[in-house]
Amino acid sequence: MASRTHDQNGHRQHRARGTSGQPSARESHTLDRLPPTLCVEGQEGVEMLRGVVQPNPVARRRRLGQAFVDVCCWGASLGVLFFVLRHNTGAPFTAIDRTIVTAVIVAIHVPVALLTGLYQGRFWYGSSRESIRLYATELCATAGGVVAALAVGTGRVGVVTVALAAPGSVCLANIVRITVWSRRRRHIPSGPHSGRRLIVFGAGDGGEMILRSLLTSKAGQFFPVALIDDDARKSRLEIEHVRVMGDRSCIREVAQRTNADALLIAIPSATSNTIRQVTEIGQAAGLEVFVLPHVDELLGAVAYGDIRPVEQADLLGRNPVEIDMAAIATLISGRRVLVTGAGGSIGSELCRQIQTFVPASLHMLDCDDSALHGVELSLQGRALLEGEGLLLADIRDRAAILAAFERVRPEIVFHAAALKHLTLLERFPGEAWKTNVLGTQHVLNAALATDVLHFVNISTDKAADPSSVLGWSKRITERQTAHAAASSGRHFVSVRFGNVLGSRGSVLEIFEAQLRAGGPLTVTDEDVTRFFMTVSEAVSLTMNAAAVGSAGEVLVLDMGTPVRIVDVARRLAASSPRPISIEFTGLRSGEKMHETLLSRDEDEARPAHPKISHVAVPILDLRAVEGLPTDHATAADLARIAGLPASALLPSA
């Protein structure tokens, strides 16, 4: 029977830019091919790689409406002044003169308004930032109108007309906007509100947008009563009559003064550390805490529907990660990509992120047909299982893997297929040998035979100073990959990282299942720690690492600060409405108290990315190993082979 393979942890990879920091010609070309929905983190919420946020239909209609209002205001103001001045001064304004001047003003006003962000899909609310954008736009349009008036020969009278029309158009535009906003505010109750009284933490762009969304929402679930911000410069700031009442240390006091019962962390770019600290303060004050999605998850402007309760993943894995999107695009766009273990947690996320970079083709390989059904459904919204991109094969089957590679001839391979459950592999080391070691050798051989350019082996932190069957088997795969790189000269690398939040069998998944069952929550030891990262962050950095690594290297991802598992269990237990106990079961065979990302004899360097370490590992040619198990292997076999020095390996006779 074919074994079921699962993917390991993953990260996004990209190539470093040149010293100038500017994209190369190829990078520019590949960026042009990217879909408009591909998001990256930006200064004001979410920016698109192509430079302009693609609006939804409602936002597009609002944007067109605002432009139409401004054009009409300019036209009305100019029309009145042309008429008055012509009949009182005898100015020689012809219909052609009026048309030319008006057309020039409109032709300048609309593009400048788009460039300054004046038309953001909503009517203005009168903030100073919006006013600056308006005045800058009007100034540019007025200057263009003055030049046009002089060019058509209207002289000083034409200049005066345009200069007087500018403030008139501003007044008319503001009257329209204020009228629209006032009509919308009629839906906001002025008296007692039935919604939950909400404190909003964060008075920046995210807080401002969510505040206005709450005030105009007809759902009425929340009613903002106060703002909190750690920036002293925002003290006493008022947005829509909701005032900043202090920093995070004031949350309890503000909650008592306003009778609030909920707290919203309205900072999409907040780190897990910030969310954890503010959540603890809010819960201590008796508030239910909510959060906005991370900026990478947002598809546009922050809105009421984005609010959700704080999850454990927010507390453990929301650290800012800088990703070189252009380098990833250069690596993937227009190329044939194959992912092994595509149905697993890391493999499926790899497929989702790779697809956004417009590869020439994406091939998903797994031995689990149900997993392939699931990943196709998540990518395409349907799962007919008829596409050429689905490959049903077991990496243990050398002939099947070679046939699959020869059929699609991939240029880039992400090898995420593996057995990963430590305790089970301690009992069945032969399965780890057949899948993780021999399976990886089959994939490497197929990649070499079909001239794959880039190969990325997904490893684990358990390969650093390994002490378990899983760790030894993954250490061997790192050394196998290094040997393939050395013998072929191709860009074959490994990427090593720790636990991924949300993956199947992760500690959070286990805790949540135990919580639903009423407990207890089981922890191996009170002092045990582990590294955590969200699956999207892991895959992003994996793709980044593949682009910046040198052939044969192991790229080690910075996982941040290790987390005490018992602290996670206690937070989950505290969130339950009923008492939940915690039991300590003791470390199991092969487990460590504290995982490490680097072996004791490994030196790290970070020449290309602050979150990616480059580590050299000794090569390992399985063909040169004496006494190699032909089928089943013991834990002792795996430990022996993983620890062989490269100098001890001699070509077999």
C-alpha Rg value of the chain to the nearest Å: 30
CA distance 350 to 455: 14
What angle (nearest 5°) sits at the alpha carbon of residue 96, between those of residues 91 and 97? 40
The reply to whether 592 belongs to the active site is no
Residue written as tokens 């149900």?
A: 370
**Spatial distance between the Cα atoms of 143 and 413, rounded to a whole number of angstroms:** 56
292 contacts 266 by C-beta, under 8 angstroms: yes
Question: From the candidates 218, 420, 434, 462, which is the catalytic residue?
Answer: 462
- Measured between alpha carbons, how far is 554 from 567 in angstroms, rounded to an integer? 31
Q: Which residue in the block uniquely carries the two structure tokens 């240390």?
A: 249
Q: Are 333 and 358 in contact (CB under 8 A)?
A: yes
Q: How far is CA 620 from the centre of its chain?
A: 36
What's the CA gap between 112 and 106, in Å, rounded? 10
Structural element, H or E, at residue 30: helix 25-32
Dihedral sign, CA of 374, 380, 382, 385? negative
CA 472 to chain centre: 32
Q: Running DSSP on this structure, what letter comes out for residue 386?
A: -
Burial classification of residue 602, based on how many CB atoms lie within 10 Å of its CB (0-12 exposed, 13-18 middle, 19 or more buried): middle
CA–CA distance, 156 with 93 (Å, rounded to integer): 12
CB 9, CB 538: distance < 8 Å: yes
CA 322, CA 299: separation in Å to the nearest integer?
A: 18
Tokens of 477: 């795969």
CA distances from 501 to 26, 177, 317, 505 (A): 35, 46, 8, 10
Here the contacts of 146-150 (C-beta below 8 Å, separation 24 or greater) are 147/104, 148/100, 148/101, 148/104, 148/105, 149/97, 149/101
CA dihedral angle for residue 138, residue 139, residue 144, residue 145, rounded to 10 degrees: 60
Provide the token pair at 592. 């460590």
Per DSSP, the three-state class of 371 is: helix
| Backbone region of residue 451 per phi and psi (left: phi > 0; alpha: psi in -120 to 50; beta: other values) | left
226 half-sphere exposure, CB direction, 13 A CA radius = 23
* Dist. CA 267–CA 203, nearest whole Å: 9
- String of DSSP letters for 185-207: HTTS-SS--SSEEEEEE--SHHH
Phi, psi of 450 (to 5 degrees): -110, 15
Longest CA pairwise span in the chain (Å): 108
- The distance of Cα 205 from the centroid of its chain, to the nearest Å, equals 19
Q: Strand, helix or coil at 621?
A: coil
Active site residues: 462
